[in-house]
Chains A and B, each alone.
Chain A
Amino acid sequence: MSSIPKELKYASTHEWVRNDGDGIYTVGISEHAQGLLGDMVFVELPEVGDVVAAGDDVAVAESVKAASDIYAPIAGEITAINEELEDSPETVNSDAFGDGWLFKIKAEDPSELESLLDAEGYQAVIDED
């Protein structure tokens, strides 16, 4: 069973969101998602400064097996991207909830977070698959 940290929020499309304070949120993909995709070979990230809407496809995680779109879980402006992934995409596999983060976003409306899933809700999504 893959672990699902309680302190994070989740989208049903397998992204996680961490509140960094000051309206900034870090986004990555879950342990479960990296397991489904398998060995990551390329991660295509958005540009810093991009303004995105919730549900936009903003990044691509490409594994040996498949390419998978990653969606912005909330609306806002991209303030940082994880440039380490350019050379070490496998970090998404080895540390999905930590060093394998993808980008940071400045929320346009932090109340959007409330529509995301908590750990329990996300577990239910995985169980349905």
Chain B
Amino acid sequence: MANRTPLYDAHVAAGAKLVDFHGWDLPLNYGSQIEEHNAVRQDSGVFDVSHMTIVDVSGADAKSFLRYLLANDIAKVTVPGKAQYTSMLNENGGVIDDLIVYYFSDESYRLVVNSATRERDLGWIEKNASQFDVTINERPEFAMVALQGPKAAEKIKLVLGEEAFAAIDGMKPFMSAQVGELFIATTGYTGEAGYEIVMPGEAASKFWDQLLNVGVQPCGLGARDTLRLEAGMNLYGQDMDEEVTPLESNMGWSVAFEPSERNFIGRNALEKQKAEGHNKIVGLVMRDKGVLRHGQKVVVDGGEGMITSGTFSPTLGFSIAMARVPATVGETAEVEMRKKFVTVSVVKPSFVRNGKSLV
């Protein structure tokens, strides 16, 4: 039987269509994924992301360990509570996982990694930690929800009350604060304002019900995928994996080559690839009828590539995709769809932000 989050009964009660997601029973939708998508763009929605793996790293060497383990440089972060998007690479520069690190102090950090890669991630972290004075502590007792949308602040205020809300009022993106038993971060996977909230598992269903009672739409994996793709955010296992580097995956911005003396796993491979040139991820837009899909072949100036993620964009009303193609790509591309080639436009891989079209 698949794993269940503390919110399993709440999903069943809300009429969720549940699917097996990498060993977890999670909601695909609660009726219509497009309605859930639109709720997040226009109002607010909440996702159960309790399947995600939370790992606390502490100890005298915590900082130097993470500076070695991760491609971004956590030393750039000096404000307690601040978060950083980063990745964990193998020696070839291949992406083992992408993750968010929260900085509490030079001796205390929290990592949130993907559940699909949990065992590989934990094994890699443990293996590399052996040379450092650090303690690795997975936190399976926690549940996590993502409250996203332009009205997320208004809704969480109704649930927390004025006093508790003051602790996070006006908090900038990629910050976090501990508010009572809630760890509240201004992060997300939708391209909207909002929060990711970590709490003890036994507190989750009450918090979830409170959000639904103030009119927040429960949202499933279907809406989560269309929202993140419109926002141009990668999905691990689809847009990147161990066979490609962050440079080929629109994550070059999260690799810190400076300071040059910092040695991190995968650095040599990335430097070599940077010098030699590499493929890149672009956005594709198709205004004709039809939907771009993962795995479709893309022909561009100078070579061929593949769609890594494609969908119908509910916000835009037409199809969008991310594709990994040779860097020689021009302004259009030909996509092989159902035995014929269709011309699509090439754009930056980011389509919708804060409810507004970018294409």
Residues of A whose CB lies within 8 Å of any CB of B are 35, 38-39, 41-42, 44, 62, 64-67, 90, 93
Contacts and interface: CB of A to CB of B under 8 A. Distances in A.
Nearest to B226: A64
Nearest to B291: A62
Nearest to B312: A41
A45 to B, nearest CB: 11
Contacts of A62: 290-291, 312
B308 interface: no
B127 interface: no
Contact of B312 (A35, A44, A64): A64
The bracket for how many chain B residues form the interface is: 10 to 19
Contacts of B28: 38
B314 interface: yes
B272 interface: no
A41 B291 contact: yes
Interface of B is mostly: mixed
Interface in B248-292: 289-291
B32 A93 contact: yes
B220 to A, nearest CB: 10
A90 B289 CA distance: 15
B290 A42 contact: yes
B21 to A, nearest CB: 14
Contacts of B293: 66-67
Q: Which 7 A-B pairs have the closest CB atoms?
A: A41-B312, A39-B34, A64-B312, A42-B289, A62-B291, A39-B33, A39-B32
Interface string B116-157: 000000000000000000000000000000000000000000
Contacts of B291: 41-42, 62, 64, 67
Nearest to A41: B312
Residue from A39, A65, A67, A90 whose CB has the most chain B CB atoms within 10 Å: A39
Contact of A44 (B32, B222, B226, B289): B289
Given A38-B33, A38-B222, A39-B34, A64 B311 contact: yes
B340 interface: no
A36 B98 CA distance: 31
Nearest to A35: B17
A81 to B, nearest CB: 15
A35 B314 CA distance: 18
Contacts of A35: 17
A39 B28 CA distance: 12
Interface of B: 17, 28-29, 32-34, 222, 226, 289-291, 293, 311-312, 314, 338
A42 B314 CA distance: 12
Given A39-B33, A41-B291, A67-B291, 13 more contacts: A38-B29, A38-B33, A38-B222, A41-B312, A42-B290, A62-B291, A64-B33, A64-B34, A64-B311, A64-B312, A65-B222, A67-B293, A90-B34
B313 to A, nearest CB: 9
A65 B222 CA distance: 8
A50 to B, nearest CB: 18
A90 B311 CA distance: 16
A90 B293 CA distance: 20
Contacts of B314: 64
Nearest to B33: A39
Contacts of A38: 28-29, 33, 222
A83 B23 CA distance: 42
Nearest to A42: B289
Given A39-B34, A93-B32, A64 B338 contact: no
Contacts of B311: 64
Contacts of A93: 32
A39 B29 CA distance: 10
A128 B314 CA distance: 33
B17 to A, nearest CB: 8
23 contacts: A38-B33, A38-B222, A39-B33, A39-B222, A41-B312, A42-B290, A42-B291, A42-B312, A44-B289, A62-B290, A62-B291, A62-B312, A64-B34, A64-B291, A64-B311, A64-B312, A64-B314, A65-B222, A66-B293, A67-B291, A67-B338, A90-B34, A93-B32
